[in-house]
Structure formats: structure tokens, C-alpha cells
């Protein structure tokens, strides 16, 4: 019975956790057109004393080839151990969407995503993998880690 009350109190407190988030609960959004202007938001880690992994699969990532302007498609996977903050997934979705019209090499894209996540939530550990679809018969996979 005591455990039930503890869970109920935790659930009730979560209502206020997202108070500072600006992208949730909006039905109309203006998609950012550049990763530098895209806002990555975070919220307090509910279990900051424990190391645990959070995994994101982003199978619809698109950027442009900086030479040809043709689209490059990729599966981006993000794994991180949060410290005091966790990434908000809708903000991450908008951030990744902002690469759609940007010309960048695959290596630059993956490393920029790492830098942006580190700036947003300062994780204990982070690994980003970009598995880019083959073009011209060659697929490219780029991975970058923090620290």
C-alpha cells in the first residue's frame, strides 16, 4: 500500500516537470529551417542518481549533399546517459528536421548533432550514429561519441 502512494505522488509531481518546455502542447508549429536556430529543449532527469541509457531511432533523417544538392537519407540513432537533464523528443524531432535544406557532409552532420545535444543537456555519455543510405553504390556510417 505504501508503494502505491509513492507512485501516485511521483505521477502527480510530473505534471509540473514540463513547465519550461515551449514545444509541447502546441498544435501548430513552424519548423526551423536551420540547425543553428532549432531549439533543443530538455527537462529534469527523474532519476539523476542512476546511470541509464535513453535510445532514439530517427529513420527519416534528410540532409542535402553540399556538392550536388541531392538529398541524403539516413537512420540516425542516439544513445545517451543523462545527467541532470533529459532531451525532449519533440524538440529533437524538430532539430533533426531542420537539416532538411542544409548542405552538409555526413561527418559534419553527425558531429554537429553530438555538439548540439551536449550543449542542450550535458549527458554523462553520448553516442550518435548516422547510417546514410547508399548513393553510387556506397553507404556511409559515421559515429561520434562524447566524452
Selected catalytic residue, list 4, 47, 65, 112 = 65
Selected catalytic residue, list 58, 72, 86, 121 = 72
Taking the C-alpha atoms of residue 122 and residue 63, their distance in angstroms, rounded to an integer, is 25
Annotated active-site residue 65? The verdict is yes
Annotated active-site residue 72? The verdict is yes
- 8 Å CB contact between 87 and 117: yes
For the residues of 11-43, what is the DSSP string, one character each?
HHHHTTGGGG-SSTT-S-----SSTTTPPP-EE
Q: Which residues are bridge partners to 44 per DSSP?
A: 85
Taking the C-alpha atoms of residue 14 and residue 94, their distance in angstroms, rounded to an integer, is 23
Taking the C-alpha atoms of residue 110 and residue 128, their distance in angstroms, rounded to an integer, is 7
With residue 144 as reference, give the H or E element that holds it. Answer: strand 138-146
Q: What are the residue numbers of the active site? A: 65, 72
Amino acid at each position: 500500500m505504501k508503494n502505491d502512494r509513492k507512485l501516485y505522488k511521483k505521477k502527480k509531481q510530473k505534471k509540473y516537470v514540463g513547465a519550461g518546455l515551449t514545444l509541447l502542447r502546441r498544435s501548430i508549429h513552424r519548423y526551423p529551417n536551420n540547425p543553428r536556430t532549432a531549439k533543443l529543449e530538455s527537462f529534469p532527469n527523474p532519476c539523476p542518481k542512476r546511470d541509464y541509457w535513453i535510445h532514439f531511432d530517427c529513420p527519416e533523417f534528410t540532409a542535402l549533399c553540399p556538392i550536388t544538392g541531392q538529398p541524403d537519407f539516413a537512420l540516425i540513432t542516439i544513445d545517451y546517459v543523462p545527467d541532470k537533464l533529459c532531451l525532449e523528443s519533440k524538440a529533437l524531432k524538430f532539430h533533426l528536421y531542420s537539416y532538411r535544406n542544409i548542405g552538409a557532409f555526413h561527418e559534419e552532420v553527425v558531429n554537429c548533432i553530438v555538439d548540439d545535444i551536449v550543449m542542450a543537456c550535458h549527458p554523462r555519455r553520448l553516442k550518435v550514429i548516422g547510417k546514410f543510405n547508399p548513393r553510387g553504390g556506397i553507404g556511409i556510417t559515421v559515429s561520434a561519441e562524447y566524452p
